[in-house]
């Protein structure tokens, strides 16, 4: 039986977690823009965002920035700490783009003299308005201390991510963060929540400034899955053999293979490998790139795999 749904947003669903104070965060393929006015389903987007966000949040956890991520569970889900989301979006910008360029008449691509932060009140009915620290404080959306801590953390994350992306030939133009409160007895602290992915960042190729983010959807540029795959591959959050698998993973067996390919040391027995073979054969047929991979998977019984074959 499916777990209890706690909340459904535009790109993710939260389910009750297996333990107290945990939730399961499910990444959907739904893409929305302009406060839900533009909508589409882009097959494979959720799988890629799950991987990319896992990769980035793990790195942040490793440098001492606490996040809600406990671990990735499967291709679409993460186990996370349950927290009370602060209803403010923290947007950090390095280069003028999007609403900053539009609102202030700045040329898109202008490098800002220093990184800046903006606060937006998370409220669809009000169209997520730009707000000041005082607006946040007088409405009790967050305390001054919480804003200061989240702001400092946002700039630290920016410094780290600029370097991380630059190392793989990508410019970090801007991104959005969300924070949440968790309690231990009487003590409350603020941790990073939500996701960091091409859905929530602007990422441009260093050389030709090709957009590798959600602007491909917002501006009808096409090739969103290819762009997100490029980010995932460069960030090494997926391996090359997963390029096409990321796009179609309806079969649980295929999802299983996905994990085995990554861990690279699986031995699959009996029915599991037959089921897996069937899924991969189907995948090879529907994959436009035809490069579903089986590296690192050892079968405990012989398996002949042919594209289109019924195993
Ligand atoms: N952003 C986001 N969710 C939002 C609004 C913005 O993830 O609800 C991200 C967006 O992807 C971009 C950055 O925050 O990387 C700045 O977005 P902007 O204010 O330019 O607005 P947008 O163009 O997203 O409407």
Q: Residues near 177 by Cβ (< 8 Å), separated by ≥ 6? A: 89, 90, 91, 92, 150, 154, 157, 192, 194, 196, 200
Mean pLDDT across 22-36: 96
Asked whether the beta carbons of 50 and 76 are under 8 A apart, the reply is yes
**pTM, to two decimals:** 0.82
With CA atoms as reference, report the closest residue to 190 among 106, 45, 85, 311.
85
Which neighbouring-strand residues pair with 92? 117, 175
Which neighbouring-strand residues pair with 172? 203
Looking at ligand 1, which atom is closest to the CA of residue 122? 8
Residue from 31, 38, 56, 91 to probe ligand 1 pocket by mutation (most atoms less than 8 Å from CB): 91
Cα R_g (the chain), whole angstroms: 21
CA 139 to chain centre: 30
CA angle 195, 6, 128 (to 5 degrees): 50
Poorest-pLDDT segment among 43-57, 76-90, 149-163, 279-293: 279-293
% of the chain surpassing 90 pLDDT: 73
The length of the chain, given as a count of residues: 311
Poorest-pLDDT segment among 127-136, 245-254, 262-271: 262-271
Asked whether the beta carbons of 215 and 228 are under 8 A apart, the reply is no
Confidence grade of residue 237 (pLDDT, cut at 50, 70, 90): confident
pLDDT of residue 286: 45
Q: 60-102: per-residue pLDDT in tens?
A: 999 999 999 999 999 999 999 999 999 999 999 999 999 999 9
Mean pLDDT across 32-61: 96
Q: Phi and psi dihedrals of 248, rounded to 5? A: -135, 115
Confidence grade of residue 309 (pLDDT, cut at 50, 70, 90): very low
Confidence grade of residue 278 (pLDDT, cut at 50, 70, 90): low
Mean pLDDT across 180-200: 96
Mean pLDDT across 163-186: 96
Which neighbouring-strand residues pair with 91? 118, 176
Give residue ranges with CB within 6 A of ligand 1: 89, 91, 98-100, 128, 174-176, 200-202, 214
Residue from 174, 203, 220 to probe ligand 1 pocket by mutation (most atoms less than 8 Å from CB): 174
pLDDT of residue 281: 54
% of the chain surpassing 70 pLDDT: 77
Instruction: In whole angstroms, give the CA distance from residue 173 to residue 175.
Output: 7
pLDDT of 234 > 90? The answer is yes
pLDDT of residue 17: 97
Confidence grade of residue 215 (pLDDT, cut at 50, 70, 90): very high
Q: Phi and psi dihedrals of 135, rounded to 5? A: -60, -40
Instruction: In whole angstroms, give the CA distance from residue 177 to residue 199.
Output: 11
| Residue of the CA atom closest to atom 10 of ligand 1 | 200
CA of 30 to the centre of ligand 1 (A): 16
pLDDT of 130 > 60? The answer is yes
pLDDT of residue 239: 73
Mean pLDDT across 117-141: 98
């Amino acid at each position: 039986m499916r777990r209890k749904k706690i909340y459904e947003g535009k790109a993710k669903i939260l389910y009750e977690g297996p333990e107290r104070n945990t939730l399961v965060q499910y990444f959907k393929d739904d893409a929305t823009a302009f406060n839900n006015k533009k909508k589409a389903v882009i097959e494979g987007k959720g799988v890629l965002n799950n991987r990319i966000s896992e990769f980035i949040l793990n790195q942040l956890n490793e440098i001492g920035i606490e996040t809600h991520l406990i671990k990735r569970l499967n291709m679409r889900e993460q186990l996370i700490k349950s927290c009370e989301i602060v209803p403010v979006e923290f947007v950090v910008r390095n280069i003028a783009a999007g609403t900053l360029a539009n609102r202030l008449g700045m040329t898109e691509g202008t490098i800002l003299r220093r990184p800046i932060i903006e606060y937006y009140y998370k409220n669809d009915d009000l169209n997520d308005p730009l707000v000041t620290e005082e607006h946040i404080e007088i409405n009790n959306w967050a305390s001054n201390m919480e804003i200061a801590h989240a702001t400092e953390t946002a700039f630290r994350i920016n410094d780290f991510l600029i370097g991380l992306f630059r190392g793989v030939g990508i410019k970090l133009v801007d991104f959005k963060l969300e924070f949440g409160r968790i309690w231990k007895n009487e003590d409350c602290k603020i941790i990073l929540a939500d996701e960091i992915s091409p859905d929530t960042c602007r990422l441009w190729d260093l050389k030709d400034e090709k957009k590798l983010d959600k602007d491909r959807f917002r501006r009808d540029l096409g090739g969103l899955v290819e762009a997100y795959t490029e980010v995932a591959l460069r960030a090494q959050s997926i391996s090359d053999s997963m390029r096409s698998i990321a796009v179609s993973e309806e079969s649980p067996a295929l999802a299983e293979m996905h994990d085995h390919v990554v861990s690279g040391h699986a031995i699959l027995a009996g029915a599991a490998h037959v089921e897996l073979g069937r899924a991969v054969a189907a995948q090879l047929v529907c994959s436009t790139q035809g490069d579903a991979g089986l590296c690192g998977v050892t079968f405990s019984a012989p398996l002949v795999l042919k594209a289109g074959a019924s195993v």
